[in-house]
Amino acid sequence: MKVLCGPFQPALEKAFLDRLAALKPGPSRRVAVVAPSRRLADRLQRLVAREAGRALLGVRFHTFFSLASEVVEASGGPARPVVRDPLYHDLLVDQLLRQRGQERLTRGLGAAFRSSLRDLVDAGINPDRAADFADLSAPESAKTRLRLLFGLTASYQEALEGAGLMSTSGLTIQARRAVEQDPGVLAGYEEVLYYGFYDLTALQVGFFQAVSAARPTTLFYPFVKGHPGYKFAEPFVDEFLHAGGKAPEHLPPAAGGALGPAGAALFSPGAHAAADPDSVRFLSASGRRDEAWAAAQEVRRLHDELKIPFDDIGVAARVLEPYRAALTEAFTAHAIPFSCEDGDPLLSWPAARLCLQVATLDLRDYPAAAVLELAESPYFTGPRQHVASWRALIRRTGLHSGWLQWEGKVAPWADKPYPLERAREDGQPAAVIPPEATAALWAWVQALRDLHRSTSSSWFARSRKLQRLLTGTLAAEPRDPGAPALEAALKAAADLAIYDQLGLKAPTALQFTEAYEERLRRAALEAPRPARGVRVLDAMAARGDSFKALVVVGLEEGLFPRAAREDPLLPDDVRRVLRQQLGHWLHGKLDEGYDEERLLFTLLVSSARERLSLVWSRSDEKGRPRVPSPYLRDLAEAAGLPLDSSVVRVPRPLSLRLASAPRQRLAPREALFLMDGGEKGLDDFLKVLDLDAALYRSGRRALEPLAAFGKAGPHDGLVGHTAAAGKLLRRGLSPSALDDLAACPFMFFAKRLLRLPEEDGASGQSELSSQELGLLYHETLRTFYAEGYKGDWRPALAKAAEAVFTPDAWRPLGLYPVLWEAVRQRALARLERLLELDLGRFEAEGLYPARFEEALDGKSGELALRGRLDRVDLSKDGKRARVVDYKTRYGEHRQPKKVLKLSSTQPAVYLELLLGADWYKGGPGGVQGVEYLNIEDDEDATGRAWRQTLEGDDWREARETLRAALETLRGLLERGEFPLSPEEGFGGHCSYCSYARVCRKAHLPARRRAEGSDAIAALETARGETP
């Protein structure tokens, strides 16, 4: 065996071509070329045929597995069928763990054990000889772990044999034995050339040694002696490649490549050799999308200015997945042809994620968000005409999840209209959801549940049931881009059916669903045939490849190098014992993990022959700083280039970012963003983009006032008087409507005039929404006072609570009965505490509860008012009155000082309505004020006051100011002035506003226009603020 060591480019590539030329392969002189991956084997084929222009006749390109398979087939075939499905092996380990008493397995535990077992098996350790390890000089904890793993490994191998199956490790062992017993199985090859391996497992080493003993063999090994970047590969050289006393031949590394002589200084502290600053570029951006944009700009520069062909440019990351979508978007926009040989992860496609939604619905107890996501998808096969109504029903009922909530909140409305709102303030009929829409939703969800719950036990039966669920819920047109993903997700369900025949026991519903989810997670769509263009790949796939120019993205701490972690089941101290004391070839995961990361980085940057561009994010998409990879500084130091002063900073703001690039390198729509509306050639440019020129200019004119810092106008909510506003003014405004207007006129406009839907808080299965709980409190207190009491009031309260908290009232609320009982008992206790504090003061104060849930209409100046008062306490002569409002909890905005500054209009409105009531005999002087009774608060229980009071004297003193403030609000509505409120303070209206998506508060020009508007100045005056 001959061993040649050196860097891939150009030393090993040249030596490989020279050796292949010397062998003169042909029909009668066959040569086997073995590479560590199919991708590198394809790279060698391109190197021979396209770059060297030589014939491939007589050359067979193999991976390690394909050569072992060929040898086994030549010797009579595998002893047992080989199962390469990793998920099957993980599930088999899960099954063995359960048999050992691990009934409740942590998600992924089987895969973790399987990884450790694979390392032991690949290291050539025989679990049947566990007793041989008893005398190891190792901690007892390490021996305990080994005994556990050896026992599990033995059980695993027995289970495979019992099922008549074999793993790829077993195939490697059989291939080695076949070559050792009959070297003639390789007689068809003149020589075997191994290329690009920098590490092998012990089993692979055994097969490799058997092959090299049977046939002439040359190994082309990527290793530079004494270079810190190749430290990971050094132990393999010392352990195996010096065997027989013959030292490897070290090829002299050339000083070429983009790094030039700096490549030899990489990772050598203090060493540096000047690199050409035009050959090595550093770029920083803000977030992955900007990194991808910077990479696209760099590719265009390399191609357009330096004339480097697209198919000789590479773009690489340590792990491609975080950048795949952003790179695809950026390259497509910039008309850059590219190929990515690895297919997209299946779960990156919405169609596949929807299949997972269907599979997990029953286990997650039918979350409303998941059901809606299915119904709103373009692949939904159900009654699509009702989806908008379903969305409104789920939002308004507060449906969260749980079958009881579906039964309680949806089923009752399948035969009657569901009211979407109370009586409208403009007098129009309230909107409803028709019963046929609700019935369709209920029927569909019931059908899903019935199929989920149908009897099935085996892998085959559950697989067939899942396929019926998926095909009955989702479908795609053949030309739909998501059709292949949907088909692949269906195939993933079908693939599980065979596990019965492979010896796995019948799964539970949870085990089957988790297996399906894991299969989807590991699957990828088959990539299209490689196209000419930029090669997009990860660092592992790039090993041994060569590029005229290379752009590396994702050079941040934690991404490259990836964080190395110990194997918790087979930690590094145990691995060292097995390696040093017993000679089993096992790598550590921590220190050697970082050594491998350095090797990958060294191989990657060395693959750039002329140009190397290194890109990283100095901050994420939200502007939070990120730390560059330490490898960047190592490379900059080796190249003699100061990183901080050499970096090209891509601006974060879009306009500055686009302006930083030459116009000819921008994507067409990016260039259009920078063009002046009257620029010469604009019409031709728009025609190329298939855009209507008149519509484009109209849009630009509409955008100009939005970007200006001038006076507020119609785009800022100053829309003028509208018919809808007139209807509200004539009908009268409620305190809640006035509160919205006082907090933010734009919020009022979106909610009350545009009538955009609000985001209603959904309640979980173990809780009531605050709105639902408040309604129960109100109804119990109304019933209690309406029925009256004599003497001890507690029986009367219990009776009222029993009338409201009925035994079956949990159904429409979607609570479990036991939780409903807990809510009832807790509510009764809180009401008792409130009434103890409330009832004892009536005689002393001379005010008694007299009116309940009183609906009133009235006026304050020209403003028509309306409202419903929870309770009014009156004196016996009816000349003194106090308004009482029930609240679930204490509210800071209801403090008297804040109420007088319009934090809540409710007290002012209620007292004006009280003065107009015909049953109130007193005037303003008889008003005792407004009290908020906080049902769930008191100083002893929560530390917050159970009562918040606006005294009558304070109200009388501030009445004219409050009336003036209400008149200001009326004026805003009358004139149609609804600007956004530029300030909200801590915990202000923006924290609960449902209209953030249509609000432009974060847009600086819009905010400045609002701050300078007369409407906001008037509103701030009404609030008692300084404009």
Give per-residue pLDDT as tens, 850-907.
999 999 999 999 999 999 999 999 999 999 999 999 998 887 777 777 777 777 888 9
Cα separation, 380 vs 471, whole angstroms: 10
Torsion of CA 838, 843, 844, 848, to 10 degrees: 60
User: Cβ contacts of residue 942 below 8 Å, gap of 6+?
Assistant: 890, 936
Examine the domain organization and report whether 844 and 808 are in the same domain. yes
pLDDT at 529: 58
Cα separation, 667 vs 230, whole angstroms: 41
Smallest CA-to-CA distance from 385 within 441, 317, 343, 431 is with: 441
pLDDT at 101: 73
Smallest CA-to-CA distance from 71 within 212, 170, 211, 195 is with: 211
Cα separation, 323 vs 363, whole angstroms: 32
Examine the domain organization and report whether 628 and 692 are in the same domain. no
Examine the domain organization and report whether 192 and 213 are in the same domain. yes
Question: Is the separation of the CB atoms in 851 and 721 below 8 Å?
Answer: no
pLDDT at 985: 53
More confident residue, 26 or 572: 26
Q: Which pLDDT band holds residue 708 (cuts at 50, 70, 90)?
A: confident
Does some domain include residue 665? no
Does some domain include residue 764? no
Among candidate residues 220, 254, 288, the one where a domain is terminated: 254
**Both ends of the chain: CA-CA distance in Å?**
88
CA angle (940, 946, 948) in 5-degree steps: 140
Smallest CA-to-CA distance from 932 within 826, 721, 739, 774 is with: 774
177-196 residue pLDDT tens: 999 999 999 999 999 999 99
Does some domain include residue 579? no
Average pLDDT for residues 23-40, to the nearest whole number? Answer: 92
pLDDT at 914: 95
Cα separation, 125 vs 317, whole angstroms: 35
Smallest CA-to-CA distance from 440 within 398, 391, 382, 498 is with: 382
Q: Which helix (H) or strand (E) holds 986?
A: none
Residue 130 has pLDDT above 90, yes or no: no
C-alpha to C-alpha distances, 176 to 1, 30, 75, 171, nearest whole angstrom? 17, 21, 11, 9
The beta strands (E) that lie in 776-899 are given as 848-860, 863-874, 881-887
Average pLDDT for residues 570-577, to the nearest whole number? Answer: 79
Does some domain include residue 224? yes
> How many residues does the structure list for the chain?
1027
**Tokens of residue 674, six digits:** 């920078």
346-385 residue pLDDT tens: 998 999 999 999 999 998 889 999 999 999 999 999 888 9
Question: Is the separation of the CB atoms in 459 and 499 below 8 Å?
Answer: yes
Question: Is the separation of the CB atoms in 978 and 748 below 8 Å?
Answer: yes
pLDDT at 427: 56
Examine the domain organization and report whether 481 and 404 are in the same domain. yes
Cα separation, 290 vs 620, whole angstroms: 9
Q: Crossing angle, helix 387-397 and helix 435-453, to 10 degrees?
A: 90
Phi, psi torsion values for 63, nearest 5 degrees: -100, 175
Domain with 369 in it: what CATH number? Answer: 1.10.486
C-alpha to C-alpha distances, 97 to 158, 457, 479, 512, 525, nearest whole angstrom? 14, 20, 45, 16, 32
Question: Is the separation of the CB atoms in 8 and 222 below 8 Å?
Answer: yes
Cα separation, 836 vs 494, whole angstroms: 65
Cα separation, 118 vs 156, whole angstroms: 10
How are beta strands 217-222 and 2-6 bridged, if at all?
parallel
Question: Is the separation of the CB atoms in 815 and 768 below 8 Å?
Answer: yes
The model's pTM is 0.79
pLDDT at 133: 63
Cα separation, 72 vs 174, whole angstroms: 7
Among candidate residues 522, 540, 563, the one where a domain is terminated: 522
Question: Is the separation of the CB atoms in 201 and 118 below 8 Å?
Answer: no
Cα separation, 778 vs 307, whole angstroms: 77
Average pLDDT for residues 272-298, to the nearest whole number? Answer: 91
Cα separation, 543 vs 75, whole angstroms: 33
C-alpha to C-alpha distances, 906 to 128, 530, 681, 735, 920, nearest whole angstrom? 81, 68, 60, 5, 19
**Tokens of residue 18, six digits:** 């020279």
Domain that holds residue 98: 86-164
Amino acid at 702: A
Amino acid at 34: V
Q: Crossing angle, helix 350-360 and helix 368-376, to 10 degrees?
A: 140
Q: Which helix (H) or strand (E) holds 496?
A: none
- Alpha helices (H) in 523-653, listed in sequence order: 572-580, 591-606, 630-639, 643-646
Q: What percent of the chain has pLDDT over 70?
A: 93
Examine the domain organization and report whether 333 and 455 are in the same domain. no
Examine the domain organization and report whether 539 and 680 are in the same domain. no
pLDDT at 380: 93
Helix, strand and coil in the chain, % to nearest 5: 50, 15, 35
Cα separation, 232 vs 626, whole angstroms: 28
Cα separation, 896 vs 508, whole angstroms: 60
134-143, 541-550, 891-900: which has the minimum mean pLDDT? 134-143
User: Cβ contacts of residue 853 below 8 Å, gap of 6+?
Assistant: 778, 782, 868, 869, 870
644-660 residue pLDDT tens: 888 999 998 888 898 88
Does some domain include residue 578? no
Among candidate residues 481, 500, 522, the one where a domain is terminated: 522
Does some domain include residue 631? yes
Residue 761 has pLDDT above 60, yes or no: no
Question: Is the separation of the CB atoms in 117 and 97 below 8 Å?
Answer: no
Cα separation, 836 vs 822, whole angstroms: 21
Task: Report the number of distinct structural domains present in the chain.
Answer: 7
Residue 134 has pLDDT above 70, yes or no: no
More confident residue, 603 or 243: 603
pLDDT at 953: 93
561 preceded by a cis bond (ω within 30 of 0): yes
Cα separation, 195 vs 13, whole angstroms: 9
CB atoms within 10 A of CB 848: 13
Most trustworthy range by pLDDT among 110-114, 841-845, 965-969: 965-969
SS (H, E, C) 298-324: HHHHHHHCCCCCHHHEEEEECCCHHHH
pLDDT at 984: 62
SS3 451: helix
More confident residue, 300 or 584: 300
User: Cβ contacts of residue 415 below 8 Å, gap of 6+?
Assistant: 435, 439
pLDDT at 239: 82
Phi, psi torsion values for 115, nearest 5 degrees: -60, -45
Average pLDDT for residues 969-986, to the nearest whole number? Answer: 84
Average pLDDT, the chain: 87
Average pLDDT for residues 267-276, to the nearest whole number? Answer: 83
Smallest CA-to-CA distance from 214 within 190, 183, 188, 173 is with: 183
Residue 806 has pLDDT above 90, yes or no: no
Does some domain include residue 50? yes
User: Cβ contacts of residue 103 below 8 Å, gap of 6+?
Assistant: none
More confident residue, 568 or 362: 362
Burial of 409 (0-12, 13-18, 19+ CB in 10 A): buried
483-525 residue pLDDT tens: 999 999 999 999 999 999 999 999 988 889 999 999 999 998 8
Residue 933 has pLDDT above 80, yes or no: yes
Examine the domain organization and report whether 779 and 924 are in the same domain. yes
SS3 951: strand
pLDDT at 421: 66
Q: Which pLDDT band holds residue 679 (cuts at 50, 70, 90)?
A: low
pLDDT at 709: 87
Average pLDDT for residues 236-262, to the nearest whole number? Answer: 81
Does some domain include residue 669? no
Domain with 241 in it: what CATH number? Answer: 3.40.50.300
Residue 625 has pLDDT above 60, yes or no: yes
Average pLDDT for residues 461-468, to the nearest whole number? Answer: 92
Examine the domain organization and report whether 426 and 513 are in the same domain. yes
Average pLDDT for residues 51-78, to the nearest whole number? Answer: 92
Most trustworthy range by pLDDT among 113-117, 753-757, 872-876, 979-983: 872-876
Examine the domain organization and report whether 285 and 245 are in the same domain. no
Cα separation, 817 vs 803, whole angstroms: 16
pLDDT at 1020: 87
pLDDT at 988: 59
Q: Which pLDDT band holds residue 587 (cuts at 50, 70, 90)?
A: confident
Examine the domain organization and report whether 801 and 912 are in the same domain. yes
Examine the domain organization and report whether 494 and 371 are in the same domain. yes
Residue 459 has pLDDT above 90, yes or no: yes
Q: Which pLDDT band holds residue 103 (cuts at 50, 70, 90)?
A: low
Could you please report the per-residue DSSP string of 318-377?
SSSHHHHHHHHHHHHHTT--EE-SSPPBGGGSHHHHHHHHHHHTTTTT--HHHHHHHHHS
Examine the domain organization and report whether 922 and 1000 are in the same domain. no
**Tokens of residue 976, six digits:** 């149609």
pLDDT at 620: 87
